[in-house]
């Protein structure tokens, strides 16, 4: 009887599948292709890159003290995490799922059409995904990634992932360098919202990723500053090459993550440490022109921030010393404003990797190499490029603000905040100015830097990491050095593999990551 029932069930399933195929055939529209095409897939994949960095950046930004929570005792302020939550898992989700297999679909479609530019762009996106995700999480699923019919995925070392970045990035550059077959600016520009089909800029982008890859291992004997400098020189030549992901800013679906429409930053405020870098506290008599452009003063006209684990005790309506929000409100309300300011506006493009970052990377590598003249030149280019960008975000109708910025800029560049000669230049000068320039968009790269130098105040001027009871209870007195793998895929479905790398331990997020080790 059971055998008869089983045969009947299989027969019914077969009939059902045949019926579905016929149903699909009836509704097939030859003018609407059912095969995914690169130009259609690429825009949402680019959007996911900004989303991934920004979502996780809210929390790594707390580790770096760009911003902190308005309420006291926040887990991320204390270098902790939220158990049973996907918070801190967006890069992972994006790499394996949101962008994930879409890369292969783009490549499959492009190879058939000999569109090597699309192949190169797809590989560039995956190269960025490997680099950015491993920098956050450490060990990853590499060799078995996207393997069908598998339910347990084994982890590979970060060293292997770093090698894959170089391998795949090199392939991407080779594909992007081809001009044969179906390579076409007009074709690529259909899906390329960033560079409008300009393959030379995509090649620069990949070289920027490779520069990060080579520089992040600065603590190792294999570190090669000349290789870093070579990659930087092959990357961005100016701010015109920056990798900006455009944001329309018309609704919550197409607005900048940091803007008021998305309302993602309502429970965060600028940190006291960040303010101290801008307002002359750490650099006497040096008022940073970026302070007024990017931050907001309280009602009493004083720029202030919140401290680790304490929140804003004055976060009460009407108090003049209440810490302002990022959208220009000195008295934040439950209803967000229609517009924001600077990078916190709805339509501001998301900078993924920039010219100024590359110049600071070059400055650090040259300094370690011992070429202080080169380091000083790159250091100044980095500072000025970021100042140029911040100025470009100021409203063209704000004549007074733009004039003040220009005046303050001239004074700032001659102040104690900026090294005046190559002989006086220190590594702390380079890394502190890089930290300032990476505010908001570059939180992930800043967290890499902080971990490489173990949050040292000797490198990041005036930085104070949480200690003792201020730290999250699970940490055992240690700081955070990695994000935990994504909860809803790994801790729910892949626990056996997690156990092998120690990721089931409560303090796994404090385990030092490979790139920072000697």
Task: Give Cβ neighbours of residue 66 (< 8 Å, ≥ 6 apart).
Answer: 270, 271, 274, 439, 440, 443, 446
Q: What confidence category does residue 36 fall into, taking pLDDT thresholds of 50, 70 and 90?
A: confident
CA dist 197 and 202 (Å) reads: 9
Indicate the SS3 state at residue 198: coil
In the numeric block, the tokens 């967006």 are attached to 90
Q: What share of the chain is helix, strand, coil (3-state, %, to 5)?
A: 50, 5, 45
Query: What CATH architecture applies to the domain 38-238+469-516?
Result: Alpha Horseshoe (1.25)
Does the pLDDT of residue 411 top 70, yes or no?
yes
The answer to whether domain 38-238+469-516 and domain 268-452 are alike in fold is yes
Angle of the 355-369 helix axis to the 372-392 helix axis, nearest 10 = 160
DSSP secondary structure string for all residues of 366-435: HHHHT-HHHHHHHHHHHHHHHHHHHHHTS-TT-HHHHHHHHHHHHHHTTSTTS--STTT--HHHHHHHHH
pLDDT digits (tens, 9 = 90+) for 307-351: 999 999 999 999 999 999 999 999 999 889 999 999 999 999 999
Indicate the SS3 state at residue 362: helix
Does the pLDDT of residue 3 top 80, yes or no?
no
Mean pLDDT over the full length of the chain: 94
Does the pLDDT of residue 10 top 70, yes or no?
no
Task: Give Cβ neighbours of residue 8 (< 8 Å, ≥ 6 apart).
Answer: none
Nearest Cα to 430, choosing from 371, 369, 359, 370?
Answer: 359
pLDDT of 13? 33
- Residue spans of the domains in the chain: they are 38-238+469-516, 268-452
**Of 491 and 28, which is predicted with more confidence?**
491
Does the pLDDT of residue 287 top 70, yes or no?
yes
Average pLDDT (142-168) is: 97
Q: What confidence category does residue 507 fall into, taking pLDDT thresholds of 50, 70 and 90?
A: very high
Indicate the SS3 state at residue 446: helix
Q: What CATH code is assigned to 268-452?
A: 1.25.40.390
Count of CA atoms in the C-beta half-sphere (13 A) of 99:
29
pLDDT of 25? 45
pLDDT of 8? 36
Angle of the 225-233 helix axis to the 199-215 helix axis, nearest 10 = 160
């Amino acid at each position: 009887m059971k055998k008869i029932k089983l045969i009947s069930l299989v027969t019914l399933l077969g009939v059902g599948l045949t019926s579905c195929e016929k149903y699909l055939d009836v509704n097939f529209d030859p003018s609407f292709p059912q095969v995914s095409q690169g130009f259609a897939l690429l825009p949402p994949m680019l959007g996911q890159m900004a989303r991934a960095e920004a979502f996780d950046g809210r929390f790594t930004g707390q580790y770096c003290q760009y911003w902190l929570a308005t309420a006291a005792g926040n887990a991320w302020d204390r270098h902790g995490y939220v158990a049973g939550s996907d918070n801190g898992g967006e890069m992972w989700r994006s790499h394996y799922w949101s962008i994930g297999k879409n890369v292969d679909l783009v490549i499959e479609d492009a190879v058939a059409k000999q569109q090597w530019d699309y192949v190169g762009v797809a590989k560039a996106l995956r190269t960025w995904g490997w680099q950015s995700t491993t920098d956050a999480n450490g060990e990853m699923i590499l060799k078995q990634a996207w393997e069908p019919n598998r339910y347990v995925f084994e982890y590979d070392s970060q060293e292997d992932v770093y090698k894959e970045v170089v391998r795949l990035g090199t392939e991407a550059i080779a594909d992007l360098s081809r001009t044969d077959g179906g390579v076409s600016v007009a074709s690529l520009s259909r899906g390329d919202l960033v560079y409008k089909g300009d393959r030379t800029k995509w090649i620069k982008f990949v070289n920027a990723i490779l520069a990060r890859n080579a520089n992040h291992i600065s603590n190792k004997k294999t570190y090669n500053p000349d290789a870093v400098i070579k990659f930087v020189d092959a990357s961005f030549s100016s701010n015109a090459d920056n990798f900006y992901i455009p944001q329309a800013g018309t609704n919550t679906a197409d607005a900048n993550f940091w803007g008021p429409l998305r309302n993602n930053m309502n429970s965060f405020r600028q940190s006291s440490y960040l303010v101290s870098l801008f307002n002359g506290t750490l650099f006497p008599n040096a008022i940073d022109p970026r302070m007024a452009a990017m931050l907001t003063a309280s009602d009493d006209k004083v720029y202030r921030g919140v401290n680790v684990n304490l929140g804003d005790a004055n976060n009460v309506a009407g108090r003049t010393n209440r810490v302002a929000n990022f959208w220009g409100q000195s008295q934040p309300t439950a209803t967000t404003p229609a517009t924001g300011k600077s990078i916190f506006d709805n339509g501001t493009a998301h900078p993924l990797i920039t010219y100024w970052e590359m110049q600071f990377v070059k400055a650090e590598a040259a300094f370690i190499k011992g070429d202080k003249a080169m380091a000083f030149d790159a250091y100044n280019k980095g500072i000025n490029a970021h100042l140029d960008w911040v100025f470009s975000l100021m409203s063209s109708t704000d004549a007074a603000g733009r004039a003040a910025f220009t005046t303050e800029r001239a004074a700032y560049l001659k102040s104690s905040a900026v090294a005046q000669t190559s002989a006086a230049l220190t590594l702390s000068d380079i890394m502190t100015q890089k930290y300032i320039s990476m505010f908001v968009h570059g939180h992930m790269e800043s967290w890499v830097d902080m971990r490489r130098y173990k949050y040292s105040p000797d490198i990041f001027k005036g930085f104070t990491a949480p200690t003792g009871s201020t730290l999250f209870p699970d940490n055992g007195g240690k700081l955070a050095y990695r994000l935990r793998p994504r909860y809803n895929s790994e801790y729910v479905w892949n626990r056996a593999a997690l156990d092998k790398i120690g990721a089931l331990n409560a303090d796994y997020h404090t385990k030092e990551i490979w790139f920072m080790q000697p």
